[in-house]
Chains A and B, each alone.
Chain A
Amino acid sequence: MRPEAWTRPAPGARLYGLPGLALLCAMAPHVTVVPLWLAAVFIATGLWRLGAEARDWALPNRWLLAAATVALCGAIGWQYRTLFGREAGVALLYAMTSLKLLEWRVHGGQRDALVLMLLGYLLVMARMLYDQGPVTALWALASVALTLAAQVRVASDGGGPPVAAVARLVGGLLARAVPLALVLFVLFPRVPGPLWSLPQDAAARTGVGEDMSPGTIAELSRSDAVAFRVRFTGGLPAADRRYWRGPVLDRYDGRTWRMSEELPGEHFPQTEASQALSYVVTLEPSGRRWLYALDLPDSLPAQTGVTASGMLMRRSAVTEVVRYEQRSVLEYRTGPLTSWERSRALRLPSTAAPRAQALGREWRTRFADPAERVQAALTMFRREPFRYTLSPPLTPTDAVDEFLFDTRAGFCEHYAGAFVALMRAAEVPARVVTGYLGGEPSPGGDYFIVRQSDAHAWAEVWLEGRGWTRIDPTAAIAPERVERGTASAIPDPDSLSLLSRRGESWVAIALLKLDALEYAWNEWVLAYGPERQRELLGWLLGWRDIDWRGLILLLVSALAIVGLALALLNRRSRRQGRDPLGRSYARFCARLAAIGLARQASEGPLSYRARIARLRPDLADATGQILVRYAELRFGEHPDPQRLRELNAQLRRFRPRA
């Protein structure tokens, strides 16, 4: 396009340049969540607006815009079946921002430009509904800075200030915002859980769920998303002891294993236990209520109770990053079963898995000791041609029977589910436990990353004298799964995502490095909840067990201090920035004032010179020279920068003696 064409629109009404860049930056990450056709709409309206600037293309009139608005709303409503909630809301914001580009008149559209920049801020905030990681935070900072710069540009008439000046202004504004943001972040009273409940779809549920049917865990295994990170504060548990206990499933309907409703309490199931192991878990939002702990948990994080089956249950769903310090016992015994618990752990639908039930009944008569029945099942898995695979053949009619006797190929949920069904048929109390197994050490080795690909299902049987005992049938046919993760245990690891393969490729290592950053971010920023706040303030100020009144007091005083400091800084920098000469002169006068020759407020430089010469003839020469030069530079037409420097040097050297 012709360069002069760009100069046509009124300054402050051009998309080309900073405003366009800022908008593009704010809009770009949303492409991952809005439908592609919406992104195309944005690009089309952007190009149209650029064409209007450069080539005098006509912009649509009001009626056309109204029609487009209705059409886009309709399309979004059709796509999401609603106009509310996170997804549809962001799509609407995206669509309306795109249309606003066409409403932004080329001539005198300053108000529209400002509205667009404000929409840019809103878009940045909307992105936080999806992701609050460190990379997003960096992007948000860059985007806000750009939008701020664009705002400065569009708000100033006549082409706007030069880039360097805009950059200085924006940098200064952001720098001033930092202490305020820090104070608010550290001191604002934290409430447990999210401050307000997000719309349903915003709290997406990920990870291990409250039920398990064939394929559930295998599906999860394909994702390398992080479930949680762990730092062991004491020793490390052995690789085959890293069972992260999640939902305990003890209700079976012939296809799906489900959790029972249990009230969390404060009593742990274990009656005897070895020494506890301590660690810190930073859990990613899962949308579920339970927390993960090594088998079995021995302490309770805030707002959390423990169920009779040893699950940690939180009062509210985990929709934000949660950090908790946890203790677990790896060796334990649990107490006797009540008859009600026993019957629940033996229940099997009569119609489900007739062949397996028959086999179980046979074992019951053959082996008197329940432990032998357990061994019999594990031996069967080991001897018969069972395969461990991510993509087993379908088992359409009866999951347990078809897996055990026909396909003999399955993932951990198949083995765990079939094993528990067999045990229940053999009258050994049993249940399915889901959670994660293993974890990958970070490059520095100071924490472990547990991914969705580490999701696992295993079994527990109740044995007289030992209580609930963990049995992992998967270990019987694929022991390497326990030791080295899923990728080493399945024949087709390429179907797993890159990071769950545990390779040594540089990409994987780089991504792990990034993970360390994310871990630190989670630890210090996202997981900064009421406990951490109390901890930090106790450590910083020695104020233990601070309550909300103390926090408000601290917050108000800190804000007052920051505000005062900023105001002072502002005044100082305004004075200094604008007028180095005035500053030097003030210092000069202060030095003379110190020896009793204070300048009167209304005294000009020459009158001052005359008075000094009269009172202190010995100072007449030095001060006279300075004052004459000052008068010339201050009031002259073209102050010579060289002379200004000389004068400044002279003023600095000037030290009158009393």
Chain B
Amino acid sequence: MERTLEAVQGTAAAPATAISTAALRERLDAIIRQLGSIILGKEPALRLALACLLARGHLLIEDLPGMGKTTLAQALARTLGLEYRRIQFTSDMLPADILGASVYDREQGAFVFHPGPVFAQLVLADEINRASPKTQSALLEAMEEGQVTSEGHTRRLPQPFFVIATQNPATQLGTFPLPESQLDRFLLRVRLGYPDPKAERALLAGEDRRRLLDRLPVLIDPPGLLLLQARVERVHAADVLLDYVQALISATRHGGQFETGLSPRAGLALLRVARAWALLAGRDHVLPEDVQVTLPALAGHRLRPGAQNAGARADELLQRLVNSVPLPV
């Protein structure tokens, strides 16, 4: 990371020394601002999305149609200079429609692999819960492993690789809700929700979002993004903070609020997201607040309310849990 972001980007505005955390913050703020100019009034969700990307995770957006899920994905791809594909999931989709297939090429006299839409840096898997479980799991496996294996050949997916899946709430008809084991593959789940009145008014008055998107400048390039991802891992987590994370995780397991508690993998994920969140805030160390803010998005889709809390929403329970675990002083 001592080779600087600018040096890699080739647009060296800053001197080619180690980029300071403050400078980094300005850059990241600029990204958030630009995304915020497209998706109005949803800064927390935007930050979570960006943190998820920086933490090398994949994002699940769960919302009703028309809330700006696709626009968010496009704005991200555009701002970060990522190659973007969109896969619209339908119930008759097959795994090959995503991963790609080998087709016999008459001229070469051999089978030639035609990569599917998953071979992109940012993949929007729209309405993933409309596809059959088999098709879903083809994508999820690719997400997990960062590679695609078909017909005996393993092909690496591009770097960085970021999947934004959208899902309609499971109450809608004709859907295959993702099972818990699959939900675990998504680092964060966010909800966009309806915009507040002020933002909605601005949206109505403003220009068409698609045209705005086309005009967005690229603020960072893929190598720069990879360096940022590497930098996330070096964000310091103090011993007391690790104690706190452990206390939070253990609180999800004991006390009967949830059917089952968070797994050790989820604990690691929580720490990773908190690191990314801290970096977004321009800090080189994690604060308890970073953990507290990201916990609902991280754990909401991984936990089911226990029997005594049937009917309660996981988010609310998590907020209660955060309030109940004392902070190490």
Contact = CB atoms under 8 A, between A and B. Distances in A.
A602 B285 contact: no
Given A604-B288, A635-B240, A635-B287, A582 B329 contact: yes
A98 B285 CA distance: 57
Interface string A614-657: 00000000000000000110111100000000000000000000
Contact of A636 (B285, B292, B324): B285
Given A602-B292, A604-B287, A607-B289, A586 B324 contact: no
A600 B284 CA distance: 25
B287 A606 contact: yes
B324 A602 contact: yes
A604 B292 contact: yes
A637 B278 CA distance: 13
A353 to B, nearest CB: 94
Given A586-B329, A602-B326, A637 B287 contact: no
Contacts of B240: 634-635
B292 A631 contact: no
B323 interface: yes
Given A632-B285, A636-B284, A603 B241 contact: no
Contacts of A635: 236-238, 240-241, 285-288
Contact of A602 (B236, B284, B287, B327): B327
Interface in A81-111: none
A602 B286 CA distance: 15
Contacts of A585: 329
Nearest to B323: A602
Contact of B287 (A589, A600, A601, A631): A631
A591 to B, nearest CB: 14
Contacts of A636: 236, 238, 284-285
Contact of A600 (B237, B286, B323): B323
B132 to A, nearest CB: 43
A410 interface: no
A634 B292 contact: no
B111 to A, nearest CB: 53
Interface in B237-275: 237-238, 240-241
Contact of B322 (A582, A602, A632, A634): A602
- Most chain B beta-carbon neighbours within 10 Å: one of A582, A589, A600, A604: A604
B325 interface: yes
Interface string A514-541: 0000000000000000000000000000
Given A602-B322, A602-B326, A602-B327, A637 B286 contact: no
A575 to B, nearest CB: 10
Contacts of B325: 601-602
Interface string A578-605: 0000100110010000000000111111
A604 B285 CA distance: 14
Contacts of A607: 289, 292
Interface in A324-354: none
Interface string B60-89: 000000000000000000000000000000
A635 B284 CA distance: 10
A601 B327 CA distance: 6
A606 B281 CA distance: 12
A555 to B, nearest CB: 39
Contacts of A632: 285
Contact of B236 (A600, A603, A631, A637): A637
Nearest to B329: A582
A578 to B, nearest CB: 11
Given A600-B323, A635-B240, A635-B241, A605 B287 contact: yes
B327 A604 contact: yes
Interface string A23-42: 00000000000000000000
A636 B241 CA distance: 10
A602 B324 CA distance: 7
Contacts of A631: 287
A585 B238 CA distance: 17
A601 B324 CA distance: 8
The 4 closest A-B pairs by CB, nearest first: A637-B236, A601-B326, A604-B288, A604-B289
Given A607-B289, A631-B287, A637-B236, 16 more contacts: A602-B323, A602-B326, A602-B327, A603-B327, A604-B288, A604-B289, A605-B287, A605-B289, A606-B289, A607-B292, A632-B285, A634-B238, A635-B236, A635-B241, A635-B286, A636-B236
Interface of A: 582, 585-586, 589, 600-607, 631-632, 634-637
16 contacts: A582-B329, A600-B323, A601-B325, A601-B327, A602-B323, A602-B324, A604-B287, A605-B289, A606-B287, A607-B292, A631-B287, A632-B285, A635-B236, A635-B285, A636-B238, A636-B284
